[in-house]
Structure 1
Amino acid sequence: MSTLRRWIPNQHGAWAMLAVPSLAGVLVGSPSWLPTPPLPRAVARPLRRLPHGAADTAPARLPHPPRAAARHRRPALVFTAAALALGPPLLLAAPWPALAAAAAAPFLAVNVLHARRNRERALANGLVAVVPARGMLLVAPRAGGGAPAGGLAPALACLLSSAGTVPYVKTMIRERNSEAYRRGSVAYRAAALAAAALLDPWLAAPFALRLARAAVLPGRGLRVPVVGAVEVGCSLPLLGFLTGVYG
Protein backbone atom coordinates (compact mmCIF):
# COMPACT_ATOMS: atom_id res chain seq x y z
CA MET A 1 0.00 0.00 0.00
CA SER A 2 2.85 2.40 0.81
CA THR A 3 4.25 1.80 -2.67
CA LEU A 4 0.86 2.49 -4.27
CA ARG A 5 0.61 5.81 -2.41
CA ARG A 6 3.74 6.98 -4.20
CA TRP A 7 1.98 6.60 -7.52
CA ILE A 8 -1.54 7.89 -6.99
CA PRO A 9 -3.30 9.99 -4.34
CA ASN A 10 -4.52 7.66 -1.62
CA GLN A 11 -7.61 9.73 -0.75
CA HIS A 12 -10.94 9.56 -2.54
CA GLY A 13 -11.27 13.33 -2.52
CA ALA A 14 -8.15 13.64 -4.67
CA TRP A 15 -9.65 11.26 -7.19
CA ALA A 16 -12.74 13.42 -7.41
CA MET A 17 -10.68 16.57 -7.86
CA LEU A 18 -8.76 14.92 -10.70
CA ALA A 19 -11.77 13.34 -12.38
CA VAL A 20 -14.45 16.05 -12.24
CA PRO A 21 -12.82 18.55 -14.66
CA SER A 22 -12.15 15.93 -17.33
CA LEU A 23 -15.56 14.30 -16.95
CA ALA A 24 -17.29 17.67 -17.04
CA GLY A 25 -15.30 18.68 -20.11
CA VAL A 26 -16.25 15.51 -21.94
CA LEU A 27 -19.93 15.83 -20.97
CA VAL A 28 -20.09 19.54 -21.76
CA GLY A 29 -18.34 19.04 -25.09
CA SER A 30 -18.64 16.22 -27.58
CA PRO A 31 -16.95 12.92 -26.70
CA SER A 32 -14.25 11.76 -29.09
CA TRP A 33 -11.43 9.25 -29.27
CA LEU A 34 -9.18 11.83 -27.61
CA PRO A 35 -11.22 13.04 -24.62
CA THR A 36 -8.33 13.75 -22.27
CA PRO A 37 -4.95 14.27 -23.92
CA PRO A 38 -2.46 12.52 -21.65
CA LEU A 39 0.61 14.60 -22.39
CA PRO A 40 0.24 17.28 -19.69
CA ARG A 41 -1.54 15.00 -17.25
CA ALA A 42 0.79 12.03 -17.45
CA VAL A 43 3.81 14.12 -16.55
CA ALA A 44 2.07 16.16 -13.87
CA ARG A 45 0.09 13.54 -11.97
CA PRO A 46 2.83 11.82 -9.94
CA LEU A 47 4.40 15.13 -8.94
CA ARG A 48 1.29 17.16 -8.32
CA ARG A 49 0.40 16.20 -4.79
CA LEU A 50 -3.14 17.40 -4.34
CA PRO A 51 -4.29 18.46 -0.90
CA HIS A 52 -6.11 15.16 -0.32
CA GLY A 53 -3.10 13.07 -1.23
CA ALA A 54 -0.75 11.05 0.89
CA ALA A 55 1.55 14.04 1.31
CA ASP A 56 -1.14 15.84 3.29
CA THR A 57 -1.80 13.01 5.71
CA ALA A 58 0.77 10.26 6.15
CA PRO A 59 3.93 12.42 6.51
CA ALA A 60 2.27 14.25 9.41
CA ARG A 61 2.89 11.11 11.48
CA LEU A 62 6.54 10.88 10.48
CA PRO A 63 9.15 13.00 12.27
CA HIS A 64 11.40 12.74 9.21
CA PRO A 65 9.42 12.28 5.97
CA PRO A 66 11.17 10.39 3.14
CA ARG A 67 13.41 12.55 1.06
CA ALA A 68 11.22 14.17 -1.60
CA ALA A 69 13.47 13.51 -4.58
CA ALA A 70 13.73 9.79 -3.78
CA ARG A 71 10.02 9.48 -3.07
CA HIS A 72 8.99 10.92 -6.43
CA ARG A 73 11.79 9.70 -8.68
CA ARG A 74 10.35 6.40 -9.91
CA PRO A 75 6.77 7.62 -10.54
CA ALA A 76 8.11 10.70 -12.30
CA LEU A 77 10.37 8.66 -14.58
CA VAL A 78 7.66 6.12 -15.46
CA PHE A 79 4.95 8.71 -16.17
CA THR A 80 7.37 10.87 -18.14
CA ALA A 81 8.40 7.86 -20.22
CA ALA A 82 4.74 7.06 -20.86
CA ALA A 83 4.09 10.65 -21.92
CA LEU A 84 7.07 10.61 -24.29
CA ALA A 85 5.91 7.31 -25.79
CA LEU A 86 2.25 8.28 -26.20
CA GLY A 87 2.70 11.97 -26.86
CA PRO A 88 4.23 12.04 -30.38
CA PRO A 89 1.51 9.90 -32.05
CA LEU A 90 -1.18 12.03 -30.43
CA LEU A 91 0.55 15.24 -31.42
CA LEU A 92 0.82 14.04 -35.01
CA ALA A 93 -2.93 13.45 -35.05
CA ALA A 94 -3.75 16.69 -33.19
CA PRO A 95 -0.85 19.09 -32.52
CA TRP A 96 -2.82 21.51 -30.35
CA PRO A 97 -2.41 19.51 -27.06
CA ALA A 98 1.19 20.72 -27.07
CA LEU A 99 -0.18 24.18 -26.26
CA ALA A 100 -2.09 22.72 -23.32
CA ALA A 101 1.09 21.05 -22.08
CA ALA A 102 3.02 24.32 -22.42
CA ALA A 103 0.32 26.17 -20.48
CA ALA A 104 0.48 23.58 -17.69
CA ALA A 105 4.28 23.63 -17.51
CA PRO A 106 4.71 26.69 -15.24
CA PHE A 107 2.27 25.27 -12.70
CA LEU A 108 3.99 21.90 -12.83
CA ALA A 109 7.33 23.63 -12.28
CA VAL A 110 6.02 25.20 -9.06
CA ASN A 111 4.76 21.81 -7.87
CA VAL A 112 8.08 20.16 -8.71
CA LEU A 113 9.95 22.85 -6.76
CA HIS A 114 7.75 22.28 -3.71
CA ALA A 115 8.19 18.51 -4.05
CA ARG A 116 11.97 18.82 -4.16
CA ARG A 117 11.83 20.89 -0.98
CA ASN A 118 9.47 18.43 0.71
CA ARG A 119 6.81 21.15 0.92
CA GLU A 120 3.98 19.52 -1.03
CA ARG A 121 1.58 20.40 1.79
CA ALA A 122 2.13 24.15 1.44
CA LEU A 123 -1.07 26.09 0.81
CA ALA A 124 0.42 27.81 -2.25
CA ASN A 125 1.41 24.46 -3.74
CA GLY A 126 -2.12 23.13 -3.36
CA LEU A 127 -3.64 26.21 -4.94
CA VAL A 128 -1.23 26.08 -7.87
CA ALA A 129 -1.89 22.36 -8.35
CA VAL A 130 -5.62 22.78 -8.97
CA VAL A 131 -5.17 25.19 -11.89
CA PRO A 132 -3.90 22.79 -14.60
CA ALA A 133 -6.37 20.13 -13.46
CA ARG A 134 -9.25 22.58 -13.92
CA GLY A 135 -7.74 23.48 -17.27
CA MET A 136 -8.82 20.06 -18.51
CA LEU A 137 -12.29 21.60 -18.78
CA LEU A 138 -10.87 23.75 -21.57
CA VAL A 139 -8.96 20.90 -23.21
CA ALA A 140 -11.65 18.22 -23.23
CA PRO A 141 -14.26 20.16 -25.25
CA ARG A 142 -11.60 21.02 -27.82
CA ALA A 143 -10.71 17.34 -28.06
CA GLY A 144 -14.35 16.63 -28.88
CA GLY A 145 -14.28 19.03 -31.80
CA GLY A 146 -15.62 22.09 -30.00
CA ALA A 147 -14.03 25.39 -29.09
CA PRO A 148 -12.01 25.88 -25.89
CA ALA A 149 -14.10 28.97 -25.13
CA GLY A 150 -17.07 26.67 -24.60
CA GLY A 151 -15.38 25.33 -21.49
CA LEU A 152 -14.31 28.68 -20.07
CA ALA A 153 -17.29 29.33 -17.79
CA PRO A 154 -17.49 25.77 -16.39
CA ALA A 155 -13.70 25.76 -15.93
CA LEU A 156 -13.93 28.97 -13.94
CA ALA A 157 -16.73 27.52 -11.82
CA CYS A 158 -14.73 24.37 -11.22
CA LEU A 159 -11.65 26.41 -10.31
CA LEU A 160 -13.65 28.50 -7.84
CA SER A 161 -14.86 25.33 -6.20
CA SER A 162 -11.58 23.43 -6.12
CA ALA A 163 -9.53 26.38 -4.86
CA GLY A 164 -11.74 26.46 -1.80
CA THR A 165 -11.16 22.76 -1.18
CA VAL A 166 -7.48 23.38 -0.47
CA PRO A 167 -7.95 25.50 2.70
CA TYR A 168 -11.04 23.50 3.68
CA VAL A 169 -9.02 20.25 3.80
CA LYS A 170 -6.43 22.06 5.90
CA THR A 171 -9.15 22.89 8.43
CA MET A 172 -10.07 19.20 8.57
CA ILE A 173 -6.56 17.77 8.93
CA ARG A 174 -3.40 19.78 9.44
CA GLU A 175 -4.95 23.08 10.53
CA ARG A 176 -7.95 21.62 12.33
CA ASN A 177 -7.19 23.72 15.40
CA SER A 178 -6.70 26.97 13.49
CA GLU A 179 -9.60 29.37 13.81
CA ALA A 180 -7.95 31.67 11.25
CA TYR A 181 -7.94 28.91 8.64
CA ARG A 182 -11.54 28.08 9.39
CA ARG A 183 -12.69 31.67 9.05
CA GLY A 184 -10.69 32.10 5.86
CA SER A 185 -12.15 28.92 4.42
CA VAL A 186 -15.72 29.99 5.15
CA ALA A 187 -15.10 33.52 3.86
CA TYR A 188 -13.72 32.17 0.62
CA ARG A 189 -16.66 29.82 0.19
CA ALA A 190 -19.10 32.70 0.68
CA ALA A 191 -17.29 34.78 -1.94
CA ALA A 192 -17.12 31.79 -4.32
CA LEU A 193 -20.86 31.26 -3.91
CA ALA A 194 -21.55 34.84 -4.95
CA ALA A 195 -19.18 34.57 -7.92
CA ALA A 196 -20.69 31.27 -9.05
CA ALA A 197 -24.21 32.72 -8.87
CA LEU A 198 -23.06 35.48 -11.21
CA LEU A 199 -21.86 32.85 -13.68
CA ASP A 200 -25.22 31.09 -13.47
CA PRO A 201 -27.87 31.15 -10.70
CA TRP A 202 -28.17 27.37 -10.80
CA LEU A 203 -24.57 27.02 -9.67
CA ALA A 204 -25.52 28.55 -6.33
CA ALA A 205 -26.88 25.16 -5.22
CA PRO A 206 -23.65 23.11 -5.28
CA PHE A 207 -21.64 26.07 -4.01
CA ALA A 208 -24.05 26.56 -1.12
CA LEU A 209 -23.53 22.90 -0.23
CA ARG A 210 -19.78 23.45 -0.08
CA LEU A 211 -20.20 26.59 1.99
CA ALA A 212 -22.28 24.65 4.49
CA ARG A 213 -19.63 21.94 4.60
CA ALA A 214 -16.86 24.45 5.29
CA ALA A 215 -18.89 26.05 8.08
CA VAL A 216 -20.19 22.92 9.81
CA LEU A 217 -17.69 20.05 9.47
CA PRO A 218 -14.39 21.46 10.83
CA GLY A 219 -13.94 20.54 14.46
CA ARG A 220 -16.12 17.44 14.19
CA GLY A 221 -13.16 15.08 14.34
CA LEU A 222 -13.95 13.33 11.06
CA ARG A 223 -11.48 10.70 9.94
CA VAL A 224 -9.50 11.28 6.75
CA PRO A 225 -11.43 8.67 4.69
CA VAL A 226 -14.68 10.36 5.69
CA VAL A 227 -13.29 13.74 4.59
CA GLY A 228 -12.49 12.21 1.20
CA ALA A 229 -15.91 10.58 0.93
CA VAL A 230 -17.60 13.90 1.66
CA GLU A 231 -15.54 15.51 -1.10
CA VAL A 232 -16.74 12.86 -3.53
CA GLY A 233 -20.31 13.44 -2.39
CA CYS A 234 -20.00 17.18 -2.95
CA SER A 235 -18.29 16.72 -6.31
CA LEU A 236 -21.15 14.73 -7.83
CA PRO A 237 -23.73 17.57 -7.53
CA LEU A 238 -21.16 20.00 -8.93
CA LEU A 239 -20.56 17.70 -11.89
CA GLY A 240 -24.29 17.35 -12.42
CA PHE A 241 -24.96 21.08 -12.33
CA LEU A 242 -22.01 21.88 -14.60
CA THR A 243 -23.29 19.35 -17.11
CA GLY A 244 -26.88 20.53 -16.83
CA VAL A 245 -26.04 24.23 -17.12
CA TYR A 246 -23.38 24.08 -19.83
CA GLY A 247 -24.03 20.76 -21.55
Structure 2
Amino acid sequence: MSTLRRWIPNQHGAWAMLAVPYLAGVLIGSPSWLQLPLFLAWLLGYCAVFHTEQWVRLRRASRNPRAAARHRRPALLFTTATLALGLPLLCAAPWLALAAAAMAPFLAVNVLYARRNRERALANGLVAVVPACGMLLVALRAGGGTLAEGLAPALACLLYFAGTVPYVKTMIRERNSEAYRRGSVAYHAVALVAAALLDPWLAVPFALYLARAAVLPGRGLGVPLVGAVEVGCSLLLLGFLVGVYG
Protein backbone atom coordinates (compact mmCIF):
# COMPACT_ATOMS: atom_id res chain seq x y z
CA MET A 1 0.00 0.00 0.00
CA SER A 2 2.85 2.43 0.77
CA THR A 3 4.32 1.75 -2.68
CA LEU A 4 0.94 2.44 -4.28
CA ARG A 5 0.70 5.75 -2.44
CA ARG A 6 4.11 6.74 -3.77
CA TRP A 7 3.14 5.92 -7.35
CA ILE A 8 -0.41 7.27 -7.49
CA PRO A 9 -0.48 11.11 -7.50
CA ASN A 10 -1.79 12.56 -4.25
CA GLN A 11 -3.47 15.56 -5.91
CA HIS A 12 -6.96 14.36 -5.04
CA GLY A 13 -8.77 17.30 -6.58
CA ALA A 14 -7.18 16.57 -9.93
CA TRP A 15 -9.02 13.29 -10.37
CA ALA A 16 -12.43 14.92 -10.69
CA MET A 17 -11.00 17.39 -13.18
CA LEU A 18 -9.56 14.50 -15.19
CA ALA A 19 -12.74 12.39 -15.13
CA VAL A 20 -15.75 14.73 -15.29
CA PRO A 21 -15.05 16.50 -18.63
CA TYR A 22 -14.10 13.19 -20.21
CA LEU A 23 -17.21 11.43 -18.95
CA ALA A 24 -19.33 14.36 -20.08
CA GLY A 25 -17.91 13.98 -23.59
CA VAL A 26 -18.69 10.27 -23.57
CA LEU A 27 -22.23 10.66 -22.24
CA ILE A 28 -23.15 13.65 -24.39
CA GLY A 29 -22.09 11.82 -27.53
CA SER A 30 -22.22 8.18 -28.54
CA PRO A 31 -20.04 5.74 -26.56
CA SER A 32 -17.29 4.11 -28.64
CA TRP A 33 -14.68 1.40 -28.03
CA LEU A 34 -11.99 4.00 -28.64
CA GLN A 35 -12.99 5.99 -25.55
CA LEU A 36 -11.97 3.31 -23.04
CA PRO A 37 -8.27 2.91 -24.00
CA LEU A 38 -8.17 6.67 -24.62
CA PHE A 39 -9.31 7.32 -21.06
CA LEU A 40 -6.72 4.89 -19.71
CA ALA A 41 -4.01 6.63 -21.75
CA TRP A 42 -5.25 9.98 -20.40
CA LEU A 43 -4.92 8.80 -16.78
CA LEU A 44 -1.51 7.21 -17.40
CA GLY A 45 -0.37 10.41 -19.09
CA TYR A 46 -1.44 12.44 -16.07
CA CYS A 47 0.58 10.17 -13.78
CA ALA A 48 3.58 10.52 -16.09
CA VAL A 49 3.35 14.31 -16.11
CA PHE A 50 2.86 14.46 -12.34
CA HIS A 51 5.99 12.46 -11.56
CA THR A 52 7.98 14.30 -14.22
CA GLU A 53 7.03 17.63 -12.67
CA GLN A 54 7.95 16.42 -9.19
CA TRP A 55 11.28 15.11 -10.45
CA VAL A 56 12.03 18.44 -12.15
CA ARG A 57 10.92 20.43 -9.12
CA LEU A 58 12.76 18.46 -6.46
CA ARG A 59 16.02 18.34 -8.41
CA ARG A 60 16.23 22.10 -7.80
CA ALA A 61 14.21 22.56 -4.61
CA SER A 62 15.47 19.71 -2.43
CA ARG A 63 18.96 19.13 -1.05
CA ASN A 64 18.18 15.43 -0.70
CA PRO A 65 18.93 13.66 -4.03
CA ARG A 66 16.61 10.82 -3.06
CA ALA A 67 13.61 13.15 -2.97
CA ALA A 68 13.80 13.69 -6.73
CA ALA A 69 15.10 10.21 -7.54
CA ARG A 70 12.01 8.47 -6.17
CA HIS A 71 9.93 10.13 -8.92
CA ARG A 72 12.28 9.15 -11.75
CA ARG A 73 11.21 5.51 -12.07
CA PRO A 74 7.45 6.22 -11.93
CA ALA A 75 7.91 9.01 -14.51
CA LEU A 76 9.74 6.67 -16.89
CA LEU A 77 7.34 3.76 -16.47
CA PHE A 78 4.17 5.86 -16.73
CA THR A 79 5.59 7.61 -19.80
CA THR A 80 6.42 4.26 -21.38
CA ALA A 81 2.95 2.92 -20.61
CA THR A 82 1.33 6.05 -22.05
CA LEU A 83 3.32 5.74 -25.26
CA ALA A 84 2.66 2.00 -25.52
CA LEU A 85 -1.08 2.65 -25.35
CA GLY A 86 -1.06 5.99 -27.13
CA LEU A 87 0.79 5.02 -30.30
CA PRO A 88 -1.76 2.37 -31.35
CA LEU A 89 -4.49 4.90 -30.60
CA LEU A 90 -2.80 7.39 -32.92
CA CYS A 91 -2.76 4.75 -35.64
CA ALA A 92 -6.47 4.12 -35.12
CA ALA A 93 -7.35 7.83 -34.88
CA PRO A 94 -4.60 10.08 -36.35
CA TRP A 95 -6.55 13.22 -35.40
CA LEU A 96 -5.48 12.58 -31.79
CA ALA A 97 -2.07 13.99 -32.77
CA LEU A 98 -3.72 17.41 -33.14
CA ALA A 99 -5.30 17.10 -29.70
CA ALA A 100 -1.94 16.18 -28.18
CA ALA A 101 -0.24 19.09 -29.94
CA ALA A 102 -2.89 21.50 -28.63
CA MET A 103 -2.29 20.33 -25.05
CA ALA A 104 1.51 20.39 -25.23
CA PRO A 105 1.99 24.15 -24.58
CA PHE A 106 -0.12 23.99 -21.42
CA LEU A 107 1.84 21.00 -20.13
CA ALA A 108 5.08 22.83 -20.90
CA VAL A 109 3.94 25.78 -18.78
CA ASN A 110 3.12 23.42 -15.90
CA VAL A 111 6.59 21.86 -16.11
CA LEU A 112 8.17 25.33 -16.14
CA TYR A 113 6.26 26.31 -12.99
CA ALA A 114 7.35 23.03 -11.37
CA ARG A 115 10.98 23.75 -12.26
CA ARG A 116 10.66 27.09 -10.51
CA ASN A 117 9.01 25.38 -7.50
CA ARG A 118 5.85 27.41 -8.05
CA GLU A 119 3.42 24.65 -8.94
CA ARG A 120 0.91 26.02 -6.41
CA ALA A 121 0.72 29.37 -8.21
CA LEU A 122 -2.75 30.51 -9.22
CA ALA A 123 -1.76 30.91 -12.87
CA ASN A 124 -0.31 27.40 -12.98
CA GLY A 125 -3.55 25.93 -11.67
CA LEU A 126 -5.59 27.82 -14.23
CA VAL A 127 -3.32 26.64 -17.04
CA ALA A 128 -3.75 23.01 -15.95
CA VAL A 129 -7.53 23.32 -16.19
CA VAL A 130 -7.53 24.02 -19.93
CA PRO A 131 -6.32 20.66 -21.31
CA ALA A 132 -8.41 18.77 -18.74
CA CYS A 133 -11.57 20.48 -19.96
CA GLY A 134 -10.45 20.09 -23.55
CA MET A 135 -10.68 16.34 -23.08
CA LEU A 136 -14.45 16.72 -23.30
CA LEU A 137 -13.97 17.60 -26.96
CA VAL A 138 -11.59 14.68 -27.46
CA ALA A 139 -13.94 12.15 -25.84
CA LEU A 140 -16.88 13.51 -27.81
CA ARG A 141 -14.94 13.34 -31.08
CA ALA A 142 -13.89 9.76 -30.29
CA GLY A 143 -17.59 8.91 -30.15
CA GLY A 144 -18.33 10.56 -33.48
CA GLY A 145 -19.34 13.99 -32.16
CA THR A 146 -18.25 17.36 -33.49
CA LEU A 147 -16.39 20.37 -32.14
CA ALA A 148 -19.55 22.48 -32.45
CA GLU A 149 -21.49 20.04 -30.26
CA GLY A 150 -18.85 20.04 -27.56
CA LEU A 151 -17.86 23.69 -27.41
CA ALA A 152 -20.57 24.89 -25.00
CA PRO A 153 -20.25 22.02 -22.49
CA ALA A 154 -16.45 22.31 -22.62
CA LEU A 155 -16.73 26.03 -21.82
CA ALA A 156 -19.06 25.21 -18.93
CA CYS A 157 -16.47 22.76 -17.59
CA LEU A 158 -13.80 25.43 -17.96
CA LEU A 159 -15.92 27.95 -16.06
CA TYR A 160 -16.44 25.54 -13.19
CA PHE A 161 -12.98 24.03 -12.84
CA ALA A 162 -11.23 27.37 -13.26
CA GLY A 163 -13.32 28.58 -10.34
CA THR A 164 -12.22 25.70 -8.15
CA VAL A 165 -8.61 26.95 -8.29
CA PRO A 166 -9.13 30.20 -6.33
CA TYR A 167 -12.00 28.75 -4.30
CA VAL A 168 -9.96 25.84 -2.91
CA LYS A 169 -7.17 28.28 -2.06
CA THR A 170 -9.65 30.30 0.04
CA MET A 171 -10.45 27.09 1.93
CA ILE A 172 -6.88 25.89 2.55
CA ARG A 173 -3.69 27.77 1.64
CA GLU A 174 -5.21 31.28 1.42
CA ARG A 175 -7.98 30.82 3.99
CA ASN A 176 -6.96 34.01 5.77
CA SER A 177 -6.77 36.13 2.61
CA GLU A 178 -9.70 38.47 2.16
CA ALA A 179 -8.39 39.44 -1.28
CA TYR A 180 -8.55 35.83 -2.46
CA ARG A 181 -12.04 35.44 -1.07
CA ARG A 182 -13.31 38.58 -2.81
CA GLY A 183 -11.63 37.52 -6.04
CA SER A 184 -13.16 34.04 -5.84
CA VAL A 185 -16.64 35.40 -5.25
CA ALA A 186 -16.27 37.93 -8.08
CA TYR A 187 -15.14 35.20 -10.45
CA HIS A 188 -18.07 32.95 -9.55
CA ALA A 189 -20.51 35.81 -10.08
CA VAL A 190 -19.14 36.34 -13.58
CA ALA A 191 -19.12 32.59 -14.21
CA LEU A 192 -22.80 32.40 -13.25
CA VAL A 193 -23.70 34.97 -15.89
CA ALA A 194 -21.50 33.31 -18.51
CA ALA A 195 -22.96 29.86 -17.78
CA ALA A 196 -26.52 31.20 -18.01
CA LEU A 197 -25.67 32.63 -21.43
CA LEU A 198 -24.51 29.18 -22.53
CA ASP A 199 -27.79 27.68 -21.34
CA PRO A 200 -30.29 29.02 -18.75
CA TRP A 201 -30.40 25.65 -16.95
CA LEU A 202 -26.71 25.97 -16.12
CA ALA A 203 -27.56 28.93 -13.89
CA VAL A 204 -28.80 26.41 -11.30
CA PRO A 205 -25.49 24.67 -10.51
CA PHE A 206 -23.45 27.83 -10.99
CA ALA A 207 -25.65 29.69 -8.51
CA LEU A 208 -24.81 26.97 -6.00
CA TYR A 209 -21.12 27.29 -6.82
CA LEU A 210 -21.35 31.03 -6.17
CA ALA A 211 -23.10 30.40 -2.86
CA ARG A 212 -20.43 27.95 -1.66
CA ALA A 213 -17.67 30.38 -2.70
CA ALA A 214 -19.34 33.15 -0.67
CA VAL A 215 -20.43 31.18 2.39
CA LEU A 216 -17.99 28.34 3.10
CA PRO A 217 -14.61 30.13 3.39
CA GLY A 218 -13.75 31.02 6.97
CA ARG A 219 -15.93 28.30 8.50
CA GLY A 220 -13.06 26.00 9.40
CA LEU A 221 -14.01 23.08 7.19
CA GLY A 222 -11.48 20.27 7.14
CA VAL A 223 -9.72 19.19 3.96
CA PRO A 224 -11.74 15.93 3.62
CA LEU A 225 -15.01 17.87 3.81
CA VAL A 226 -13.77 20.46 1.33
CA GLY A 227 -12.91 17.62 -1.02
CA ALA A 228 -16.27 15.93 -0.53
CA VAL A 229 -18.09 19.17 -1.39
CA GLU A 230 -16.07 19.50 -4.59
CA VAL A 231 -16.81 15.91 -5.60
CA GLY A 232 -20.50 16.67 -5.16
CA CYS A 233 -20.19 19.89 -7.17
CA SER A 234 -18.36 18.05 -9.95
CA LEU A 235 -21.03 15.35 -10.15
CA LEU A 236 -23.70 18.04 -10.19
CA LEU A 237 -21.99 19.66 -13.16
CA LEU A 238 -21.77 16.30 -14.95
CA GLY A 239 -25.46 15.68 -14.40
CA PHE A 240 -26.48 19.07 -15.76
CA LEU A 241 -24.17 18.83 -18.76
CA VAL A 242 -25.60 15.45 -19.73
CA GLY A 243 -29.14 16.68 -19.10
CA VAL A 244 -28.73 19.87 -21.11
CA TYR A 245 -26.51 18.70 -23.96
CA GLY A 246 -27.02 14.92 -24.05
**Which bin holds the TM-score, normalised by the shorter protein?**
0.7 to 0.9
Q: What secondary structure, in the 3-state scheme, does the structure 1 residue paired with 2:242 have?
A: helix
What TM-score do the two structures reach when normalised by structure 2? 0.87
Give the total of aligned pairs: 236
* 233 and 76 in structure 1: CA distance in 2 versus 1, 3 angstrom threshold: same
Following TM superposition, where does structure 1 have runs of at least 4 consecutive aligned residues deviating by more than 6 angstroms? 63-68
- Counterparts of 1:19-168 in structure 2 under 5 Å? 19-35=19-35, 37=38, 42-48=44-50, 69-70=68-69, 72-168=71-167
Unaligned runs of 5+ in 2: 55-60
Identity of aligned residues (%): 80
* 146 and 212 in structure 1: CA distance in 2 versus 1, 3 angstrom threshold: same
Unaligned runs of 5+ in 1: 55-62
Q: Which residue of 2 aligns with 1:16?
A: 16
Higher relative contact order, structure no. (Cα contacts within 8 Å, ≥ 6 residues apart): 1
Question: Relative to total residues, which structure has the larger helix share, 1 or 2?
Answer: 2
Cα distance in 1 between the residues matched to 2:4 and 2:223: 18
What TM-score do the two structures reach when normalised by structure 1? 0.87
RMSD: 2.5
Cα distance in 2 between the residues matched to 1:111 and 1:177: 26
Cα distance in 2 between the residues matched to 1:28 and 1:200: 15
- Counterparts of 1:210-221 in structure 2 under 5 Å? 210-221=209-220
Alpha-carbon contact 2:48-2:79 (below 8 Å) kept: no
Amino acid at match of 1:13: G
Cα distance in 2 between the residues matched to 1:22 and 1:237: 15
Q: Which residue of 2 aligns with 1:231?
A: 230
Cα distance in 1 between the residues matched to 2:74 and 2:82: 12
Q: What secondary structure, in the 3-state scheme, does the structure 2 residue paired with 1:218 have?
A: coil
Q: What secondary structure, in the 3-state scheme, does the structure 2 residue paired with 1:121 have?
A: coil
Cα distance in 1 between the residues matched to 2:231 and 2:111: 26
Cα distance in 1 between the residues matched to 2:116 and 2:4: 22
Q: What secondary structure, in the 3-state scheme, does the structure 2 residue paired with 1:47 have?
A: helix
